[in-house]
């Protein structure tokens, strides 16, 4: 595979230098925008009447071999074409004038990398350009999508270096499955997974203790070099992604990378230095110190002791812990070629130090791509990119095995009369706060950072080779073969003296995961025009996908010699290997009709066969086939009304679509596989999951209606859409009786509904002759999600990823969102006829409410009511200022950090301790009636621990916010300043990220996700517990073109 990729890339390198031909000469020049004289990259420069051509580079410059007496044609989407006779000149500079009425002719990349005119697309799809992605200065391309696309929710999981981000399009469809979209790069499916807890019996998290909530893990899309990306197209709904069949239910993100450009070799280099710091921290009380019941007690870490004496030092353990973070980013891109072949070589390096001591992340990428035109009918292109990333992080959240907590929980519970920085004894061993050995005294956060690191390293190769044959002007055959191959190693060290469960004498675990995705796609596209009033395009295709994954877990306990962190240095060792293979074969077709250049129709269908679903009629446990499809229509009513050149409304289209797609399950759910038994007797046993030979795929049916409008001769565009999607036959694994021999069993049952509206306003409302422009992008998104049905025997579906504190968890309830919050509640009046129905019942003897343990009730939705993002860019000649405002209304957040602080006495909410109050509620009378509670009660340590923090209601807060995502100021030096030097362009920029945050949320940041970047079911967004707080920072960058 690698040899094939290199064979296609190297011809482009060989042809990079322009070939000399008789009676030709080199013409160079620069193409700029007529309004502000800024360089225009990607402009097509073609010899009129011939096939010789090139494109301008990032600096707007081009170089081309032309024959004597030639005329050059300069064309670019959104600009008027210009012809210029070369004559005797060797330099031709051109300024192109904007022609915004052609914006509907812009082509965007859709499924399988096929480009379509925007006017032919009748479903929700938005494209984000390289400029918009780079502007945010985010090294993670998923984070770079924040605020750029209506209907897309991106949640950063925290402020640790290299930490991932979760992405969901139009709400979650699955109660229990993965709800992240499909990621495709250059037509090849790529892996965007993050840390996943193993479901193998005795394996993975149960084997080594590392939970999804234990470590800040990246998402695999963050491996991609953002400077390699030409554009990202978000296919929002099933209609947009229907050609991907079983992979399309959650939408798709189509990444198109940059390709080599004909002309002289050009080099683009960007270097960036960044400084970050913690944005906000929880507030701790500074009145009471260590102890219980008002009495100092050095044997406890609780802060329910006496008040600090006047002048007694109160340590700022939380503020002292975090440091400033620094990072360097360097990007280099080289491109060149001729009209026969081109190449692009890029490299990048990120070196990042975190705000947590001893934390870091680094990433290095190298990519080579090439194109080759063997003949007017045969072209080939290929790319290979190597990516290496990894870092060091501290245990966070609940720590290992759901134990005593990671570093941040330890900080939130450390008494302020003790200096946490003093964490070692003179002999180098851990200084314990309360003495003894065990798990009741959580590790000192400095000890965790230095002695208990979690490290990871990923080596990855993504490559593809593509061959295109055009036997006729109306027929194109394309074959694309690609792979995404990586090996990830995660290592967790537990030093001697740690409080992590089962590891007090030291331990180490190593997990090695090998993953390979192999993709093969063949498409045949036929395009014909039947007169001026009818055009048709037929697409036929076949796809074969195979994913293979193998994970090896190794653990060693009890270090023989302190300080040697090696499996070979342990007394007790164990190992477990799990593997899986999944195959999907699909055939698909799509027909597009363009009628009178006013009506566009599209019909598509796909038939899939999945290895993970059974064929009970054939008595086989694999290979069930399923048919899916979509239909859409668009009507350009402004053409009928003759408004194409109207000064107010120049374009209008009404679009409709309906689609049905599916989702299969994971491997080995039909029949329970054998697994290694770690219990008495050893040998093998059946897995966690029971067999089910009747499984079928989830099916999502969606309906969408939209309106596309352009005003002011195309300077301003509005894209409005409404959608309704229902996902039935949910694939879910509820617990079953252990008498069956299993823990869980996959079944089909339940329905989830998403209904929402999207608005996207974009354009350049102001374009002045002096070069001043104002560009705006505004997105509005509102989604209503609900679990229309749960399997009949279930009243709640909860997610372990978001069950991080005892009294609240992520759950789905009947007719409530799948991103709901379930909390432990007080005993309440349950009598619809009572005026006190729903009120808390107070004990007449204690004056306190009773907690109903073990039962969770609905307490709100973590998803927002709506979101709005506004990006503004103002430019004047070489100066540009861009900023993104982000507004979120509603959405609940569980403040798990506050819950921990209340229980330990460090929350400011506990400053009312020992005061007397009357708790709101009612008292049950002897006759069964109720009356308001009037009994006063003292707010003791027991009240705060058992009643106040005994339920989750007090810790569910409003997550609304207004934030300034970024402000970017850049200046491109005038070309005249550079003269005729080899430097063709210089740009200086400074960017501020997360500079302002306005929110009523009392914690660090309402944008949080307790279990990282994964989105299983309702995900873990909106749970704030033990994660690294978000950061704010400043970037300073220099870009130079050669």
Predicted local confidence at residue 860, as pLDDT: 95
Predicted local confidence at residue 6, as pLDDT: 40
Predicted local confidence at residue 197, as pLDDT: 54
Structure tokens at 771: 């070069």
> How many other CB atoms are there within 10 angstroms of residue 7's CB atom?
14
The CA distance from 745 to 191, in Å, is 26
Query: If we measure between CA atoms, which residue out of 774, 1002, 979 comes closest to residue 894?
Result: 1002
Which long-range contacts (C-beta less than 8 Å, at least 24 apart) are formed by 914-921? Answer: 914/294, 914/938, 914/939, 914/940, 915/939, 918/847, 919/840, 919/842, 919/847, 919/848, 919/849, 920/839, 920/840, 921/826, 921/839, 921/840, 921/841, 921/842, 921/849
Predicted local confidence at residue 42, as pLDDT: 76
Structure tokens at 557: 């306990």
Bridge-based pairing state of the strands 744-745 and 689-690: parallel
Query: If we measure between CA atoms, which residue out of 951, 819, 947, 832 comes closest to residue 890?
Result: 819
CB 799 within 8 A of CB 818: no
Burial of 783 from C-beta contacts in 10 A (0-12 / 13-18 / 19+): buried
**Neighbouring-strand partners of residue 538:** 526, 591
Q: Give residue for tokens 């600009």.
A: 79
> How many other CB atoms are there within 10 angstroms of residue 559's CB atom?
22
Structure tokens at 158: 């925290």
SS3 93: coil
Predicted local confidence at residue 400, as pLDDT: 78
CB 1041 within 8 A of CB 268: yes
Predicted local confidence at residue 446, as pLDDT: 96
Burial of 520 from C-beta contacts in 10 A (0-12 / 13-18 / 19+): middle
The CA distance from 188 to 199, in Å, is 28
Run means of pLDDT, 10 residues per run, the chain, 1042 residues: 40 40 75 79 80 77 84 80 85 80 65 83 89 87 90 88 89 89 91 66 60 75 92 88 81 91 88 96 96 93 96 96 96 91 95 96 96 94 96 86 82 96 90 74 91 94 96 95 95 90 89 94 94 93 95 91 90 88 95 94 94 88 88 94 87 95 88 68 72 89 95 90 95 77 83 96 90 94 95 84 88 94 95 93 94 93 96 93 96 96 97 95 92 95 96 96 96 86 91 96 91 76 92 96 91
CB 386 within 8 A of CB 347: no
CB 814 within 8 A of CB 789: yes
Query: If we measure between CA atoms, which residue out of 852, 858, 854 comes closest to residue 821?
Result: 858
The CA–CA distances, whole Å, from 275 to 324, 761, 955, 963, 1008 equal 7, 33, 33, 19, 21
Q: Residues of 239-263 as b/e, b for ≥16 C-beta within 10 angstroms?
A: bbbbbbbbbbbbbbbbbbbbbbbbb
Query: If we measure between CA atoms, which residue out of 788, 33, 51, 119 comes closest to residue 376?
Result: 51
The CA distance from 44 to 226, in Å, is 24
Structure tokens at 976: 């005249």
**Neighbouring-strand partners of residue 468:** 379, 478
CB 398 within 8 A of CB 1026: yes
CB 821 within 8 A of CB 863: no
C-alpha Rg value of the chain to the nearest Å: 31
Structure tokens at 174: 């699955």
SS3 285: coil
The CA distance from 214 to 195, in Å, is 10
Query: If we measure between CA atoms, which residue out of 366, 369, 395, 459 comes closest to residue 9?
Result: 369
The CA distance from 469 to 946, in Å, is 72
Q: How far is CA 516 from the centre of its chain?
A: 21
Q: How far is CA 192 from the centre of its chain?
A: 8
**Neighbouring-strand partners of residue 763:** 716, 776
Q: Is the dihedral of CA 441, 446, 447, 452 positive or negative?
A: positive
Q: Give residue for tokens 């005993």.
A: 827
CB 500 within 8 A of CB 486: no
Q: Give residue for tokens 């082509």.
A: 107
CB 853 within 8 A of CB 862: no
Burial of 762 from C-beta contacts in 10 A (0-12 / 13-18 / 19+): middle
Predicted local confidence at residue 194, as pLDDT: 75
Sequence-separated (6 or more) residues with CB below 8 Å from residue 742: 672, 686, 687, 688, 689, 690, 736
Predicted local confidence at residue 744, as pLDDT: 78
**∠ Cα 11 16 19 (to 5°):** 105
The CA distance from 130 to 226, in Å, is 8
Sequence-separated (6 or more) residues with CB below 8 Å from residue 353: 161, 325, 326, 327, 359, 360
The CA distance from 710 to 761, in Å, is 10
List domains and CATH numbers for the chain. Answer: 2-98 (2.60.40.1120), 115-259+270-279+324-347+354-406+442-819+862-891+960-1041 (2.40.170.20)
Q: What is the 3-state secondary structure (H, E, C) of 846-882?
A: CCCECEEEEEEEEEEECCCCEEEEEEEEEEECCEEEE
The CA distance from 363 to 456, in Å, is 12
Structure tokens at 749: 């049952």
Instruction: Work out the end-to-end distance of the chain between its first and last CA atoms, rounded to an integer number of angstroms.
Output: 34
HSE (CB half, 13 Å, CA atoms) of 134?
A: 22
Query: DSSP of 403-439, one letter per residue?
Result: -S--HHHHHHTS-TTS-TT--B-TTSSBPPSS-SSSS
Structure tokens at 194: 């993050």
Would you state the torsion angle of the CA atoms of residues 856, 860, 861, 862, taken in this order, to the nearest 10 degrees?
A: -90
**Neighbouring-strand partners of residue 74:** 45, 82
The CA distance from 337 to 13, in Å, is 7
Query: If we measure between CA atoms, which residue out of 83, 89, 61, 174 comes closest to residue 749?
Result: 174
Query: If we measure between CA atoms, which residue out of 118, 151, 148, 153 comes closest to residue 133?
Result: 148
């Amino acid at each position: 595979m690698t040899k094939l990729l290199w064979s296609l890339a190297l011809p482009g390198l060989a042809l990079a230098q322009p070939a000399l031909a008789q009676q030709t000469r080199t013409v160079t020049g620069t193409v700029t925008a007529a309004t502000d004289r800024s360089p225009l990259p990607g402009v097509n420069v073609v010899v009129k009447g011939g096939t010789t051509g090139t494109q301008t580079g990032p600096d707007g410059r081009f170089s081309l071999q032309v024959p004597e007496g030639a005329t050059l044609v300069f064309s670019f989407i959104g600009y008027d074409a210009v012809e210029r006779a070369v004559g005797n000149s060797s330099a031709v500079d051109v300024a192109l004038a904007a022609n915004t009425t052609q914006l509907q002719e812009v082509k965007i990349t859709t499924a399988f990398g096929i480009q379509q005119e925007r006017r032919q697309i009748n479903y929700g799809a938005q494209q984000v350009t390289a400029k918009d992605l780079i502007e945010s200065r985010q090294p993670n391309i998923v984070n770079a999508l924040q605020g750029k696309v209506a209907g897309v929710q991106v949640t950063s999981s925290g402020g640790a270096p290299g930490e991932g981000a979760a992405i969901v399009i139009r709400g979650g469809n699955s109660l229990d499955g993965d709800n992240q979209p499909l990621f495709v790069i250059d037509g090849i499916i790529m892996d965007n997974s993050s840390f996943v807890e193993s479901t193998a019996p005795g394996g993975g998290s149960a084997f080594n203790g590392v939970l999804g909530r234990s470590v800040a893990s990246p998402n695999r899309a963050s491996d991609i070099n953002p400077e390699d990306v030409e554009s990202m197209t978000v296919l929002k709904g099933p209609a947009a992604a229907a050609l991907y069949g079983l992979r399309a239910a959650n939408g798709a993100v189509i990444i198109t990378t940059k390709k080599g450009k004909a002309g002289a070799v050009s080099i683009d280099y960007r270097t960036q230095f960044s400084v970050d710091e913690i944005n906000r921290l929880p507030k701790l009380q500074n009145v009471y110190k260590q102890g219980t019941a008002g009495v100092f007690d050095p044997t406890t870490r609780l802060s329910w002791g006496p008040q600090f004496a006047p002048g007694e030092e109160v340590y700022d353990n939380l503020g002292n812990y975090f440091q400033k973070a620094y990072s360097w980013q360097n990007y280099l891109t080289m491109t060149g070629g001729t009209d026969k072949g081109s190449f692009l070589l890029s490299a990048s390096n990120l070196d990042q130090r975190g705000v947590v001591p001893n934390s870091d992340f680094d990433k290095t990428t190298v990519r080579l791509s090439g194109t080759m035109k063997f003949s007017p009918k045969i072209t080939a292109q290929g790319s290979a990119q190597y990516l290496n990333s990894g870092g060091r992080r501290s245990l966070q959240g609940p720590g290992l095995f759901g134990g005593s907590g990671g570093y941040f929980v330890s900080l939130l519970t450390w008494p302020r009369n003790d200096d946490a920085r003093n964490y070692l004894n003179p002999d180098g061993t851990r200084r314990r706060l309360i003495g003894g050995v065990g798990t009741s005294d959580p590790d000192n956060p400095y000890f965790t950072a230095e002695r208990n690191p979690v490290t990871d390293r990923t080596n990855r190769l993504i490559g593809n080779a593509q061959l295109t044959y055009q036997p006729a002007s109306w027929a194109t055959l394309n074959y694309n073969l690609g792979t995404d191959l990586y090996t990830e190693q995660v290592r967790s060290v537990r030093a001697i003296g740690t409080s992590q469960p089962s590891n007090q004498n030291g331990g180490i675990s190593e997990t090695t995961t090998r993953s390979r995705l192999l993709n093969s796609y063949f498409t045949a596209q036929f395009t014909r025009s039947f007169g001026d009033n009818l055009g048709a395009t037929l697409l036929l295709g076949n796809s074969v996908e195979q994913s293979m994954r193998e994970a090896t877990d190794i653990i060693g306990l009890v270090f023989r010699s302190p300080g040697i962190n090696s499996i070979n240095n342990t007394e007790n060792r164990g190992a477990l290997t799990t593997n899986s293979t999944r195959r999907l074969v699909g055939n698909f077709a799509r027909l597009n009709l363009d009628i009178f250049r006013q009506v566009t129709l599209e019909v598509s269908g796909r038939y899939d066969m999945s290895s993970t679903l059974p064929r009970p009629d054939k008595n086989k446990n694999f290979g069930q086939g399923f048919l899916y499809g979509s239909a859409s229509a668009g009507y350009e009513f402004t053409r009928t009304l003759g408004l194409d050149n109207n000064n107010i409304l120049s374009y209008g289209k009404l679009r409709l679509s309906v689609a049905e797609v599916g989702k299969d399950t994971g491997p080995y759910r039909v029949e329970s596989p054998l697994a290694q038994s770690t219990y008495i007797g050893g040998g093998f046993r059946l897995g966690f999951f029971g067999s089910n030979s009747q499984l079928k795929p989830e099916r999502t049916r969606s309906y969408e209606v939209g309106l596309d409008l352009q005003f002011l001769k195309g300077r301003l565009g509005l894209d409005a859409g409404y959608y309704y999607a229902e996902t039935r036959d949910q694939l879910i694994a509820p617990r079953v009786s252990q008498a069956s021999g299993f823990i869980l069993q996959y079944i089909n049952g339940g329905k989830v509904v998403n209904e929402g509206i999207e608005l996207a306003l974009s354009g350049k409302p102001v374009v002045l002759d002096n070069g001043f422009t104002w560009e705006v992008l505004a997105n509005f998104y509102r989604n209503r999600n609900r679990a229309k049905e749960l399997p009949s025997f279930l009243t709640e579906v909860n997610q372990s990823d978001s069950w991080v504190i005892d009294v609240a968890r992520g759950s789905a309830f009947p007719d409530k969102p799948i991103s709901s919050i379930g909390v432990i509640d007080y005993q309440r009046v349950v009598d619809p006829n009572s005026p006190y129905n729903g009120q808390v019942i107070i004990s007449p003897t204690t004056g306190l409410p009773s907690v109903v343990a073990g039962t969770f009730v609905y307490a709100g939705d973590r998803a927002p009511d709506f979101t709005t993002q506004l990006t503004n860019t103002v430019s004047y000649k070489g100066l540009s200022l861009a900023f993104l405002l982000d507004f979120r209304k509603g959405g609940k957040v569980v403040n798990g950090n506050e819950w921990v602080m209340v229980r330990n006495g460090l929350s400011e909410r506990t400053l009312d301790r020992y005061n007397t109050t009357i708790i709101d509620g009612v008292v049950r009378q002897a006759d069964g009636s109720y009356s308001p509670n009037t009994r006063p009660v003292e707010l003791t340590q027991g009240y705060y621990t058992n009643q106040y923090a005994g339920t989750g209601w007090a810790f569910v807060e409003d997550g609304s916010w207004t934030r300034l995502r970024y402000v970017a100021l850049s200046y491109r030096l005038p070309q005249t300043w550079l003269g005729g030097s080899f430097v063709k362009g210089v740009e200086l920029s400074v960017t501020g990220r997360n500079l302002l945050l306005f929110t009523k949320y009392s914690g660090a940041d309402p944008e949080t996700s307790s279990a990282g970047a994964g989105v299983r079911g309702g995900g873990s967004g909106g749970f704030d517990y033990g994660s690294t707080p978000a950061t704010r920072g400043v970037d300073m960058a220099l870009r130079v073109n050669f």
